[in-house]
A and B are shown apart, each in its own frame.
Chain A
């Protein structure tokens, strides 16, 4: 799976499930949690989405705002996890 494909899936999930706004002009490097755009309550959803979509378990202590604040950071984490398998 290449980076663009991963980015596209994460972007689509963020717009549909987290922001509930498909028209939002979301940038890949736009802070999601630290800006208050999405509350940290949604982090568990991101973890479960990655599990189901990429068959990849990211441990809870790794699901931090620091690691997952943007679409690009989430994609990097997913790609790093997939590469380790």
Chain B
């Protein structure tokens, strides 16, 4: 049951109706049952894995909290348990699929044990951060198993995040939740913005099929490929950001707030800044639990800013792990290494360049640097989207394929609209800035967006597929 489906809409409406009838003490239990039901619609055995993982991390959390002498051992046990499950599916599963003879008769039995369950990469990271935070004394383990299980399983965030920290999420489950008129309007606006991004902009970009040249780079010129790449990146962005906005809006209707996951990433000043605005919850997780501990370990030996290992190792390690998390194959590792190298170069460049407040930089330089960043990030996305052989072909065509072939400019409308939405949100310093618009403008948007979504969905030959891992 994908979030952009009529089934999901019915599921949410029924869940809301039951949720608001139930007394407070049964609401969390009901949301847990609803979340496990939702998960079972993806594959029947998924909830079993989630339940087992939940019980083990819950137990480890209490053991870790009470232990005096074995804290480090228990923490590493918990980390290795969660990472182990991910590695089993990401690496072991991929390897075994090649070794085992899979045919039509045994595929139904074998494949589910080898393919990473949707959402597993998210609840594994949630489990790890829960244990680390207990070890750092940032939070205490909850004694309520239902609440903890709901923290890992909460259906709006289960499949694709955002990644939530237990210390922010669990207190919301412990208190009485109310959704007043203001919160209702804000959450419905979030859902509408999400629909605009995922269905309308994502749909427009699918309709014009800008990504087709990427499937066969050898047959297209450099300009066509570059344009396809830029539009594909905007497609990924709007689909993922829209998905998250809908998830956050739906969660908010139950009175549970989820974190913002995107903040106008194409208005970033550099690559490091980009990663504080794109998939924010994952970037922050990587920063808090990988980048910072590694960087501080190097700085303790030499606190100088020009500490060479500190300039190189933390960004590379962090982005390589990010690559592995996105997919256990060589192209995702190359993508991670590329991102790490870009951040490393930025860190080195910072040594010789005095810091400058953003407001003091001339507008033309800001526009130029952002345009360059979009191209740079698009180019770095190639190994994220294509395998290594096709990546090589792609860049070979970029170097030699300047044969002046005309390309389809229609997706530009969606790209401009996407930047415009970001610009309004960035300028207003508020993702719900549209609620401050005049009443008539809001009314037009409210009428036009669902209508446009319906028209574009009808025009599409196939329903949208959520492509981000």
A residues touching B (Cβ–Cβ < 8 Å)?
Answer: 17-21, 35-45, 47-49, 51-52, 59-63
Contacts and interface: CB of A to CB of B under 8 A. Distances in A.
B347 interface: yes
Main secondary structure of the interface of A (DSSP, over half): helix
Nearest to B343: A41
Interface string B338-362: 0000000011001000111111000
A37 B355 contact: yes
A44 B295 contact: yes
A41 B272 contact: yes
B269 A36 contact: yes
B305 A45 contact: yes
Contacts of B346: 39, 41
Contacts of B22: none
Given A48-B296, A48-B303, A60-B289, A41 B350 contact: yes
Given A43-B292, A59-B136, A60-B293, 5 more contacts: A36-B269, A44-B299, A45-B303, A60-B296, A61-B288
B100 interface: no
A44 B304 CA distance: 11
B357 A35 contact: yes
Contacts of B276: 40
Given A48-B296, A60-B292, A41 B136 contact: no
B133 interface: yes
B303 A52 contact: yes
A60 B356 contact: no
B300 interface: yes
B292 to A, nearest CB: 4
Nearest to B295: A44
A47 B355 contact: no
B300 A36 contact: no
A65 to B, nearest CB: 8
By Cβ-Cβ distance, the 5 closest A-B pairs, closest first, are A36-B358, A60-B292, A44-B295, A59-B136, A48-B299
A18 B292 CA distance: 17
A45 B351 CA distance: 14
B279 interface: no
27 contacts: A18-B355, A19-B355, A21-B354, A35-B357, A36-B357, A36-B358, A37-B355, A37-B357, A38-B355, A39-B350, A39-B355, A41-B347, A45-B303, A47-B299, A59-B136, A59-B137, A59-B138, A60-B136, A60-B287, A60-B292, A60-B293, A60-B296, A61-B136, A61-B138, A61-B288, A61-B289, A63-B292
